[in-house]
Amino acid sequence: MRRLTREDAVQDKIALLMEETGCDRAEAELALELCAYDLQSAVQAVPRLFQNILVLKGRIRADAQTLYGLWLVILNLKDRSLLRARAVVSCNPAVFTADLNAHWFDFEGRLYACRLWAGALPDFSQEVEHRLSEFFSSSEAVEFYSEKPKTGSAAVERLRSGFPARLAEAELQFRPELLDMGQFQEVRPNGHRSGEGPAGAPGPERASSGPLILRVALEPDGGGTPAGKIRAGDVVFTSITDSRDIAQYLAKLFGTHAGEGSTPLPVPVESVENGSDGVHLRVRFSAGLCGDAVCAQDERFKIRPKGGRSPWWRRLLP
């Protein structure tokens, strides 16, 4: 039997880290070196090492048509993929006053809130989102996936082709923000303060400044996955337990209220955060509707894993 050398052990850790996190060999080697070759620490460190997430926050104004809008695009520069495209178009000029210097998390909350204001145009907003998704998924947007985002007049004109013809002559402004994957996957940015805890009942001001947050419960499964092992992208089976009237209405609409005769709804996990009181999970039902739950680390739940792969730690066991 061949004796396992230290170099063999390092190579095995590099391979496992690459498979678990999707990083390349150079990133895996750097993470392990920084973490003294502790694999578990390296898994947690990889998302914080490189700023591969580009957020574009933008405003658009067509005074002649009394149209005003906000848009948000999130790109993964490493694999050159579009993660999110959101937009709102309205007849309300107050929409255009949103601050492009705001943190992307708060800017997205403002965008969602503007959808609820008088004057919002839902159909046109969806058309803009669709056009942005098409543009940033095409070869025309290749320059926006570079390590140094373009923000000059040429980039503005290139971006203009990603909007409907109705906005071809509109004033277009945008500002980039670079993030690492860890920052992007946080439930909320560090230092963010609102009436809402990370996974508690939403506060009154949050209800009017961002997506609606419902209290939810995950479907338990004695042989399922511990809450501490659930990751963003996994699909969990969720019931709405929130007691507010709007929540009860939505629960009946979805057919996923807590209690007998209800079928838990499979919903993707958007973010995971460990807190002193347990694991905080956020799921997203739709663009403006999320659900939060707090679970003990060892509670087990029914999930559908992202990509169907088994966790790296299971492959270390015989």
Residue 163 CA from chain centroid, whole number: 23
Average pLDDT value for the chain: 78
Domain residues of the chain, as ranges?
53-185, 204-313
Residue 73 scores a pLDDT above 90:
yes
CB-based contacts of 197, cutoff 8 Å, min separation 6: none
Which residue has 């507010």 as its token pair?
A: 244
Strand partners for 271: 282
Q: Give all strands (DSSP E) within the chain, no chain letters.
A: 53-62, 67-76, 81-90, 171-179, 212-218, 220-226, 235-240, 265-275, 278-286, 289-295, 300-301, 303-304
Q: Which pLDDT belongs to residue 104? A: 87
Phi, psi of 290 (to 5 degrees): -125, 170
For helices 6-21 and 25-34, the axis angle rounded to 10 degrees is 110
Q: Measure CA 162 to chain center.
A: 22
Cβ pair 271, 193 in contact under 8 A: no
The pLDDT-based confidence of 105 (bands split at 50, 70, 90) is: confident
Tell me the average pLDDT across 98-124. 89
- Is residue 306's pLDDT more than 80? no
Q: Which of 118, 120, 121, 155 is nearest to 140 (CA)?
A: 155
What is the C-alpha to C-alpha distance for residues 225 and 300, in angstroms, rounded to an integer?
5
Q: What one-letter code names the amino acid at 151?
A: T
pLDDT the model gives residue 35: 74
Report whether 218 contacts 236 (CB < 8 A): yes
* Alpha-carbon distances of 122 from 117, 193, 224, 243, rounded to whole Å: 11, 29, 40, 28
pLDDT digits (tens, 9 = 90+) for 136-181: 999 888 888 876 666 667 778 888 888 998 998 899 999 988 887 6
- The string of DSSP codes covering 72-108 is EEEEETTTTEEEEEEEEEES-GGGGG--TTS-HHHHH
3-state SS string for 126-172: HHHHHHHHHHHCCHHHHHHHCCCCCCCHHHHHHHHCCCCHHHCCCEE
Over residues 31-69, the pLDDT tens digits come to 777 777 777 777 766 666 666 788 999 999 998 898 999
**Mean pLDDT calculated for residue range 250-255:** 72
Q: What is the dihedral of CA 180, 130, 303, 220, to 10 degrees?
A: 110
In our burial notation (b when 16+ CB lie closer than 10 A, e otherwise), range 33-53 reads eebeeebeebbebbbebbbbb
